[in-house]
Amino acid sequence: MLSSCLVDCLQKMKNKFTPKFAGLIFILLAFLCGGTPDARAGNWAEVDSIEYVSGYLARLLINENPFPGENGYKSVEDSKIGMVQILWVLHSRIHHIPHGYRQEHIANIKSDNIIDVITAQGQCDGFSRDQKGNAVVVRRVEERLGYLLAIANKGSKPGKFSELINYGQGLASAYVEGGINQADRFAGLEIIQKIMVTGRAYSWMTDKDYYNPGGNFVSIPDSLDGSIGGNRFFTLKRATSTTQARNPNIDPPRRTKQIGN
């Protein structure tokens, strides 16, 4: 409540009201309310709680793509595309199982739940379920997220960090609510180095030559934009009766070193 002294002052000024007086009054009121004229409310970037599907998924998309200053970073746009394509990998492991394959071959689990696909054994390093069945992450994932958020919410205006964090959270939230609006750039793949492939990507790994998921996975080369966001993406050999006879069980994709760790 305004003090009686302030009320008296305002009453004396009402007959001499000018833009200058208006500015002074605004500053005084802002000060009394505990703020400043240029104070902003909230943060430039936020991520949903880990208990929500949108929050857990956002953590994966953010964790698996590089930010400015980290290994593998090229541009904001490249990291955004990387988030989209990782989301498509997860989605394809549920909804686009190629002819001749079973979901267990590709995702190491049978489920239509995206959290199950993320936390399946040996899939996304640092993402799993605890003994109670709760989806959890290792400490380094939360520590990096906290570091990125601290940078994103620093300063007088949003920057690249907040743009990337909000993009990842936006993708996750939109997916939970209805799906993916962005196109899958690997959906139309048919042949890679004379190998007939299924199209779409079904695995990703840190983009180093010595990382490979094995089995029937085929590396998507640079000529087909297979390296995005510091990761290499992999499609699958098109299944034939001969292929199935030689490979009744496809080696599940393995995740290794995380970007920025």
Read off the pLDDT band of 244 (50, 70, 90).
low
Q: How far apart, in whole angstroms, are the C-alpha atoms of residue 98 and residue 172?
A: 24
In degrees to the nearest 10, what's the CA dihedral of 84, 90, 92, 95? Answer: -120
Considering 10-19, 23-32, 106-115, the range whose residues carry the highest mean pLDDT is 106-115
Is a pLDDT exceeding 60 seen at residue 36?
A: no
Q: Are 83 and 61 in contact (CB under 8 A)?
A: yes
Number of H helices, E strands in the chain: 9, 8
The CA–CA distances, whole Å, from 176 to 84, 137, 204 equal 14, 19, 22
The pLDDT, as a whole number, for residue 240 is: 81
Could you list the beta-strand ranges (E) of 67-146.
127-129, 135-137
Beta-bridge partners for 218: 235
pLDDT of residue 233: 98
**pLDDT at position 25 over 70:** no
Work out the average pLDDT over 182-208.
Answer: 97
Q: Confidence class of residue 11 from pLDDT cuts 50, 70 and 90?
A: low
Q: What is the spatial distance between Cα 69 and Cα 196, in angstroms, rounded to a whole number?
A: 38
Look at residues 202, 244, 174 and name the one whose alpha carbon lies nearest to residue 117: 202
Residue 167 has pLDDT above 50, yes or no: yes
Residue 248 banded pLDDT, cuts 50, 70, 90: very low
